[in-house]
Amino acid sequence: MEFVFAVTGDKQGSLKKVLEEDAYAKDSFGTLGYTLKESSSVGLKGGKYIVFFKTDDAALAAKLKERLAKVEGIEELTGADKDAVVSAINAEADTAASGFGSIFG
């Protein structure tokens, strides 16, 4: 399952604090891995910050969503906005992997 959340730029500090807390804990964002991007870099209107993570563990997803709820004004994206973010992040990862492969391949 893929999860995408957005928050206005003025809440970036609060968001980073939540993302970085207990970074080495088994159920943390740091251990799972996440992507933090400015919204215009993933095809959305600028001025927001986007958090993307994926997990198939429903219990972990629920914990992480609960932590994100601490950030005032955060919203989970769905529909076309979510699809645009997921597509942009996956395309970026594919490009990076192929570039890395061409260096060592």
**What are the sequence ranges of the domains in the chain?**
2-104
List, as one string, the DSSP characters of the chain.
Answer: -EEEEEEEGGGHHHHHHHHHTTTTSTTSHHHH--EEEEGGGGTS-SSEEEEEEE-S-HHHHHHHHHHHTTSTT-EE--HHHHHHHHHHHHHHHHHHHHHHHHHH-
Q: What pLDDT sits at residue 92?
A: 86
Q: What pLDDT sits at residue 77?
A: 97
Q: What pLDDT sits at residue 94?
A: 73
Q: What pLDDT sits at residue 102?
A: 52
Nearest one of 65, 69, 82, 58 to 1, comparing CA atoms: 58
Q: In degrees rounded to 5, what are phi and psi of residue 45?
A: -60, 140
Q: What is the pLDDT of residues 12-22, one digit of tens each?
A: 999 999 999 99
Q: What pLDDT sits at residue 72?
A: 96
Pick the CATH number of 2-104 from 3.30.70, 3.20.20, 1.20.1260, 3.40.1350: 3.30.70
Nearest one of 26, 50, 53 to 40, comparing CA atoms: 50
CB count in 10 Å sphere of residue 86: 17
Is 0.75 surpassed by the pTM of this model? yes
- List the chain residues with pLDDT less than 50: none
Q: What pLDDT sits at residue 95?
A: 72
Q: What is the pLDDT of residues 27-44, one digit of tens each?
A: 999 999 999 999 999 989
